[in-house]
Chains A and B, each alone.
Chain A
């Protein structure tokens, strides 16, 4: 464990908690892409299948359970509890255009042709594009509540910190996970445009992000 990975996991946890609390306390999921949240629940499900088979540390197990519970709870809030506030007309990204290529690639490019490893690879590739329905929804509505932009900021920051973690691990322990690194770079690049808007608009105190 190093400081970049720890900060990255904390940033990821903060993002997930911000989103969950935003929906739970405002009793509304307006402006939130349910599709992205379903994809994230799928990412955690296919990545953490080893939850019961391989024990790494208390921290690792606890964080996996927390991420799984909060992601499914968020999907539940969006599609069941507060479904009347779910803006399905704006959440129109065709997720099959993500799932099919990601599934195909995970069969082609992986470390080991076993179910667990292919599902892990699928989760890595899927995570790099899972935010696209949310970013697409924001460009379609042309705006996002500031709390939603804080969620996206911490979510984007988490994988950027993981990139630093992989540089650190490469130089200190020779660790290099090519599939995770390449996907992490792609994932972080998708946030660059948002990061620019976040810094230039939201941090200037605007009540919400309105796209030009």
Chain B
């Protein structure tokens, strides 16, 4: 799995 970007968006 690619790195999981922090879900800081709505």
**A residues near B, CB below 8 A?**
5, 9, 12, 50, 56, 60, 63-64, 67, 110-113, 117, 120, 162, 165, 175-178, 180
Contacts and interface: CB of A to CB of B under 8 A. Distances in A.
18 contacts: A5-B9, A9-B10, A12-B10, A50-B7, A56-B8, A60-B10, A63-B10, A64-B10, A111-B3, A111-B5, A112-B1, A112-B4, A113-B1, A117-B4, A162-B9, A176-B5, A177-B5, A180-B9
Contacts, number: 29
Nearest to A109: B1
Interface of B: 1-5, 7-10
B10 A111 contact: no
Contacts of B5: 111, 175-177
A111 B8 contact: no
B1 A67 contact: no
Contacts of A162: 9
Contacts of A180: 9
Contact of B10 (A67, A110, A113): A67
B7 A110 contact: no
